[in-house]
């Protein structure tokens, strides 16, 4: 099927079918929406709806939080450099 041109409605259907279960409520809302039913939903509108849903609902539920890795901090005193006139830098 290389080189096959897909209609925009086919692309939208494929994207909605490929979403995981945490997106199920949003996918159902889009499919039941007026724009999807009438065939006027564009891919850009779908993408915007999905991004908005991800930023608001998924972030609020804590499902989309990135895991952070705690790093150990160490402090070492560096050798103080001398200025051109021989004076040492003062600590603030």
The neighbour count for residue 46, using CB atoms within 10 Å, is: 19
Residue 64 has a pLDDT of: 46
| pTM for the structure as a whole | 0.59
Give me the sign of the Cα torsion angle 58, 62, 63, 69.
positive
Q: What is the pLDDT of residues 5-48, one digit of tens each?
A: 999 999 999 999 999 998 999 999 999 999 999 999 999 999 99
Q: What is the pLDDT of residues 45-82, one digit of tens each?
A: 999 999 999 988 877 766 545 566 677 777 776 655 55
Q: What's the CA gap between 77 and 81, in Å, rounded? A: 12
């Amino acid at each position: 099927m290389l080189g096959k041109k897909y209609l925009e409605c086919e692309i939208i259907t494929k994207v909605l079918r490929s979403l995981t279960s945490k997106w199920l409520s949003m996918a159902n809302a889009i499919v039941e929406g007026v724009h999807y039913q009438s065939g006027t939903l564009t891919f850009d509108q779908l993408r915007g709806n999905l991004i908005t849903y991800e930023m608001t609902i998924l972030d609020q539920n804590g499902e989309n939080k990135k895991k952070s890795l705690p790093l150990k901090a160490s402090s070492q005193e560096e050798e103080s450099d001398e200025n051109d006139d021989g004076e040492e830098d003062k600590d603030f």
